[in-house]
Amino acid sequence: MSENIYLPRMATIQSMRPETIDVTTFRVTIDGSDGTGKFEYKSGQFAEVSVLGVGEAPISITSSPTRPEAIEFSIRRVGELTNALHELEPLDKIGIRGPFGNFFPLEEMEGQNLLIIGGGIGLAPLRSVILNVFDNRAKYGKIDIIYGARSPQDLVFTSEYKEWQAVDNTRLHLTVDRGDEEWKGNVGLVPTFLREINPSPENTISITCGPPIMIKFVIEALNELGFSSEHIITTLERRMKCGVGKCGRCNIGSKYVCLDGPVFTLKQLEEMPSD
């Protein structure tokens, strides 16, 4: 009998790390396995995460497949399902379907410099890339990470920044829209900060994820800096339901974002119908 694609696998929450007032990182293991079990995924993919009796939602996998002990999701509470997830505790059960969607082409990016640009909770799928390339450090050139949030309190993964900054040939550039008395870093929007940092497009791939408005202006800035459409990789935010190309909720023209995306090069986006 074929496997039911709508049936989630049960998983156990091992820990919940608060990132901000409304974002928590859930570390989970698939039941009946040593950790991720048969849940083999690539950086950039997502899963449908569910709470029994409440529902499910697409959530990016923020851990790296190079660290198979557990799977991590960083989730902002915005509505019914995400609120229910935040009410859970370690050792509670959740459902997981997936992994779904395509992924960042890390193998094709080997030998290149990486410019990783994130905004808000959009750093979640990028963290999977960051940890993955750190675990394969010799395969990549220089790594620049530009990350921005509304305020210092909205930055996610702050407990890891020291570790990230200590990695060879890696720079983390932080910015916030509004600082406070303690904030010593940059104040300003991500696209403006990107222009100030002025990275060279030579032998460099940029990948970006964040609010659609940030992505729009980041792409504009990258174009001005001379990055080609093939070297700008981004993610598309779309409402989703099934996650497996059946319900038609997420399509743009002939493309299903849940199957063909959420990762696209700017060149691919330029070839899609605008809506």
Ligand X SMILES: Cc1cc2nc3c(=O)[nH]c(=O)nc-3n(C[C@H](O)[C@H](O)[C@H](O)COP(=O)(O)OP(=O)(O)OC[C@H]3O[C@@H](n4cnc5c(N)ncnc54)[C@H](O)[C@@H]3O)c2cc1C
Binding site for ligand X (CB under 6 A): 46, 55, 57-60, 74-76, 78-82, 121, 124, 237-240, 262
Q: Which stretch binds ligand FES (CB under 6 A): 29-37, 122-130, 182-190, 248-256?
A: 248-256
- Alpha-carbon span 43 to 102, nearest angstrom: 9
Q: Give yes or no for residue 250 binding ligand FES (CB under 6 A).
A: yes
In angstroms, give the least distance from the CB of 154 to ligand X.
13
The residue behind tokens 């390339």 is 133
Measured distance CA(216)–CA(218) in Å, rounded = 6
Judged by beta carbon, residue 199 or residue 261, the one nearer ligand X is 261
Residue 242 near ligand FES by CB under 6 A: yes
Q: If we measure between CA atoms, which residue out of 107, 105, 110, 103 comes closest to residue 203?
A: 110
- Tell me how far, at minimum, the Cβ of 27 lies from ligand FES, in Å: 26
**Looking at beta carbons only, is 62 or 204 nearer to ligand X?**
62
Report the C-alpha gap between 44 and 107 in whole angstroms: 13
Q: Is 240 in the site for ligand FES (CB under 6 A)?
A: yes
Q: Is 237 in the site for ligand FES (CB under 6 A)?
A: no
Please state the φ and ψ torsions of residue 19, each to the nearest 5 degrees. -100, -45
Residue, CB closest to ligand X: 79
Q: Could you tell me the end-to-end alpha-carbon distance of the chain, in angstroms, rounded to an integer?
A: 40
Query: 5 or 228: whose CB is closer to ligand X?
Result: 5
Task: Decide: 64 and 131 in contact? Cβ < 8 Å.
Answer: yes
Binding of ligand FES by 247 (CB under 6 A) = yes
244: CB partners within 8 A, 6+ apart: 5, 100, 258, 259
Q: Considering the rule CB under 6 A, would residue 111 count as an interface residue with ligand FES?
A: no
Of ligand X, ligand FES, none, which one does residue 237 interact with (CB within 5 to 8 Å by kind)? ligand X
Q: How many helical (H) and strand (E) elements, i.e. helices and strands, does the chain have?
A: 7, 15
| Residue 259 Cβ vs ligand FES, minimum distance, rounded to whole Å | 7
Q: Is residue 249 a contact point for ligand FES (CB under 6 A)?
A: yes
Under DSSP, is residue 266 helix (H, G, I), strand (E, B) or coil? helix
Whether 126 and 49 have beta carbons less than 8 Å apart is answered as no
Min dist. Cβ of residue 10 to ligand FES (A)? 22
DSSP 71-90: EEEEEE--SHHHHHHHT--T
Binding footprint of ligand FES on the chain (CB under 6 A): 240-243, 245-250, 256, 258
